C-alpha cells in the first residue's frame, strides 16, 4: 500500500488516570453506567509529536495522513485503478453484493446506522453548507419507516438534526456523546456521557478561535461535546503551523484528546466513548443487546466510523459499509463509493422489503427506557 492508503489511528496519547472534578455528579442519564469509563478516564496528553510518531509508524506524516483522509485527485492512473480494484475485492461493493446482503438479512431485524458528512451529504469546503439532497432525505425517511434508524455524527446533535430534518430518527451527535431518540417519543432515550466536559469544551473553543484566527482559512466548529478544527481551506504550507496552534491550546487540557478526520482535527473528551459505544448503546436501548436475530447496518466514510465497524466485527454481527472512492484500511466488510451509491443502496433495501419473499422484520420497535 502507498502512504495514501494509510489510516492513522487516534492521536491522543494516554497516561495516568486522573478523574474529572465533579465526575461523581447525579446519575442523570440512562447511559450513565455504560459510560463508567468516563469517570475513571485516562488522562490524555495531546502531542502532535506523538501524532507524527503514530503516523510515522504507519510510514507517513500526520499531514500526509490528513491529505490522504480526503484525496482530491481528479484523474486516476492505471495503477490507482488496479489498486482500487484489488481493494474492492476485499471490501466488495454493497450494491453488487446486494442479493447476498438481502439474503443474510432474511428473518433478521435490521437496525440502520448512518454517518452524516461524506455518507449522506457530499464533502464540501464549507461545513455549514453540507446539505443533503431532498432525494436522500426521502430515501432515509423510507428506510426509517421500516427499520429503526440512527444518524451517528461528529457534529453537534442539533446541527445534524437540522440538516437531516427528520424527527422520526435517533440522533447521536458529537461522535455518539449526545444521543436522543425520536422527538415524538417523550420517553425517548437520552445519553450524554461527557456532560461534565461542557464548560471545558466551551473554554477551549474560545481559545482555539482566538489562537487560529491568524491562519487564513482555518475554521473552528463547536460540536457541543467536541470541537473540529478544519484544515480543508488552509494552504497546505500552513498545516504544520496550524497543528502547532492547536497543540499550544490543547496542551493545557490533559483530559482532552485529539483525533483526525477528513482534513479536520477533532478535540474531544478522553472518555471511553465513541461511535462504536453509541451503536452498542442504541442496540441495547432498542432491546437488542443479546439478540441474535438483529442485523445492525452501519454506513460511514471516516476514521471515527471505524470504531463502529470494529464493534460489528467483534460482535460477529451486522454489516459495516465504508464509503470511499479510494482504498483505505478499514474494519468494514463492504464498500460504497459516494453518497449517491449510499442512496441507491438505501432505496434497494426499501424496495426489497416490499417484495413478498423478503421476510426481514421491518416493524418499528419501541426502545426500552431505563
Ligand X SMILES: O=P(O)(O)OC[C@H]1O[C@H](O[C@H]2O[C@H](CO)[C@@H](O)[C@H](O)[C@H]2O)[C@H](O)[C@@H](O)[C@@H]1O
Q: Is 262 in the site for ligand X (CB under 6 A)?
A: yes
Q: Tell me the closest approach of the beta carbon of residue 157 to ligand X, in angstroms.
A: 11
Q: Tell me the closest approach of the beta carbon of residue 362 to ligand X, in angstroms.
A: 25
Q: Is 194 in the site for ligand X (CB under 6 A)?
A: no
Q: Is 339 in the site for ligand X (CB under 6 A)?
A: no
Q: Is 154 in the site for ligand X (CB under 6 A)?
A: yes
Nearer Cβ to ligand X (115/280): 115
Binding segment for ligand X (CB under 6 A), chosen from 125-133, 248-256, 312-320, 324-332, is 125-133
Q: Count residues contacting ligand X (CB under 6 A)?
A: 24
Q: Tell me the closest approach of the beta carbon of residue 262 to ligand X, in angstroms.
A: 4
Sequential DSSP letters for 157-183: HHHHHHHH--TTSEEEEGGGTEEE--T
Q: Pick out residues in 84-103 that bind ligand X (CB under 6 A).
A: none
Burial class (CB in 10 A: 0-12, 13-18, 19+), 312: buried
Binding segment for ligand X (CB under 6 A), chosen from 23-31, 109-117, 176-184, 240-248, is 109-117
Q: Tell me the closest approach of the beta carbon of residue 32 to ligand X, in angstroms.
A: 24
Closest CA to 324 of 347, 306, 310: 306
Q: Is 232 in the site for ligand X (CB under 6 A)?
A: yes
Binding segment for ligand X (CB under 6 A), chosen from 26-34, 222-230, 251-259, 286-294, is 222-230
Where in the sequence numbering do the catalytic residues fall? 115
Q: Is 274 in the site for ligand X (CB under 6 A)?
A: no
Residue 43 cell numbers, joined: 488522562
Binding segment for ligand X (CB under 6 A), chosen from 17-25, 192-200, 255-263, 337-345, is 255-263
Q: Distances from the Cα of 333 to the Cαs of 116, 300, 313, 336, in angstroms? A: 19, 12, 9, 11
How many residues would you count in the chain? Answer: 370
Q: Is 221 in the site for ligand X (CB under 6 A)?
A: yes
First and final CA of the chain: distance in angstroms?
47
CA distance 108 to 333: 18
> Can you tell me whether residue 116 is helix, strand or coil?
coil
- Cβ–Cβ under 8 Å, residues 314 and 279: no
Rg (CA), the chain: 20
Nearer Cβ to ligand X (281/352): 281
CA distance 185 to 189: 9
**Binding ligand X by CB under 6 A: which of 4, 153, 270, 285?**
153
Q: Tell me the closest approach of the beta carbon of residue 301 to ligand X, in angstroms.
A: 6
Q: Which residues of 180-216 are buried (b: 16+ CB within 10 A; e: fewer)?
A: bbbeeeeebbebbbbbbbeeebeebbebbbebbeebe
For residue 26, give every residue at least 6 positions away whose Cβ sits within 8 Å of its Cβ, in sequence order, or none: none
Q: Tell me the closest approach of the beta carbon of residue 264 to ligand X, in angstroms.
A: 4
Binding segment for ligand X (CB under 6 A), chosen from 196-204, 256-264, 286-294, 327-335, is 256-264
Q: Is 116 in the site for ligand X (CB under 6 A)?
A: yes
Q: Which residue is nearest to ligand X (CB)?
A: 154
Nearer Cβ to ligand X (195/304): 304
Beta strand extents in the chain (DSSP E only): 13-15, 43-45, 109-114, 149-152, 170-173, 178-180, 190-191, 219-222, 227-230, 256-261, 264-269, 294-300, 319-323, 334-336
**Binding ligand X by CB under 6 A: which of 118, 182, 243, 254?**
118
Residues that bind ligand X (CB under 6 A): 115-118, 123-125, 127, 130, 153-155, 221, 223, 228, 230, 232, 261-264, 266, 302, 304
Amino acid at each position: 500500500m502507498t502512504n495514501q492508503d494509510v489510516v492513522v489511528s487516534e492521536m491522543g496519547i494516554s497516561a495516568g488516570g486522573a478523574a474529572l472534578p465533579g465526575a461523581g455528579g447525579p446519575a442523570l442519564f440512562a447511559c450513565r453506567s455504560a459510560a463508567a469509563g468516563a469517570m475513571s478516564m485516562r488522562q490524555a496528553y495531546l502531542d502532535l509529536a506523538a501524532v507524527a510518531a503514530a503516523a510515522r509508524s504507519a510510514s507517513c506524516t500526520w499531514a500526509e495522513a490528513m491529505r490522504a483522509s480526503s484525496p482530491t485527485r481528479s484523474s486516476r492512473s492505471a495503477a490507482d485503478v488496479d489498486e482500487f480494484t484489488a481493494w474492492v475485492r476485499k471490501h466488495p461493493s454493497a450494491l453488487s453484493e446486494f442479493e447476498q446482503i438481502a439474503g443474510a438479512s432474511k428473518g433478521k431485524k435490521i437496525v440502520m446506522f448512518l454517518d452524516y458528512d461524506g455518507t449522506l451529504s457530499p464533502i464540501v469546503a464549507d461545513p455549514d453548507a453540507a446539505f443533503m439532497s431532498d432525494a436522500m432525505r426521502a430515501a432515509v425517511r423510507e428506510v426509517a419507516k421500516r427499520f429503526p434508524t440512527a444518524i451517528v455524527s461528529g457534529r453537534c446533535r442539533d446541527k445534524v438534526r437540522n440538516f437531516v430534518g427528520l424527527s422520526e430518527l435517533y440522533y447521536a451527535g458529537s461522535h455518539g456523546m449526545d444521543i436522543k431518540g425520536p422527538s415524538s417519543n417523550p420517553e425517548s432515550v437520552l445519553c450524554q456521557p461527557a456532560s461534565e466536559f461542557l464548560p471545558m469544551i466551551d473554554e477551549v473553543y474560545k481559545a482555539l478561535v482566538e489562537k487560529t484566527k491568524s491562519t487564513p482559512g482555518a475554521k473552528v466548529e463547536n460540536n457541543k461535546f467536541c470541537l473540529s478544527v478544519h484544515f480543508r481551506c488552509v494552504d497546505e504550507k500552513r498545516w504544520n503551523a496550524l497543528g502547532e496552534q492547536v497543540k499550544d491550546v490543547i496542551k493545557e487540557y490533559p483530559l482532552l484528546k485529539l483525533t483526525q478526520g477528513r482534513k479536520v482535527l477533532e478535540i474531544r473528551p478522553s472518555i471511553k466513548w465513541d461511535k462504536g459505544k453509541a451503536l452498542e448503546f442504541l442496540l441495547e436501548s432498542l432491546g437488542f443487546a443479546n439478540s441474535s436475530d438483529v442485523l445492525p447496518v452501519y454506513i460511514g466514510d471516516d476514521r471515527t466510523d471505524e470504531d463502529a465497524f470494529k464493534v460489528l466485527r467483534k460482535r460477529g454481527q451486522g454489516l459495516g459499509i465504508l464509503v470511499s472512492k479510494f482504498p483505505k484500511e478499514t474494519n468494514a466488510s463492504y464498500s460504497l463509493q459516494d453518497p449517491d451509491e449510499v442512496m441507491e443502496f438505501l432505496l434497494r433495501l426499501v424496495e426489497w422489503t416490499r417484495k413478498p419473499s423478503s421476510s426481514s422484520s421491518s416493524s418499528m420497535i419501541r426502545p426500552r427506557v431505563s
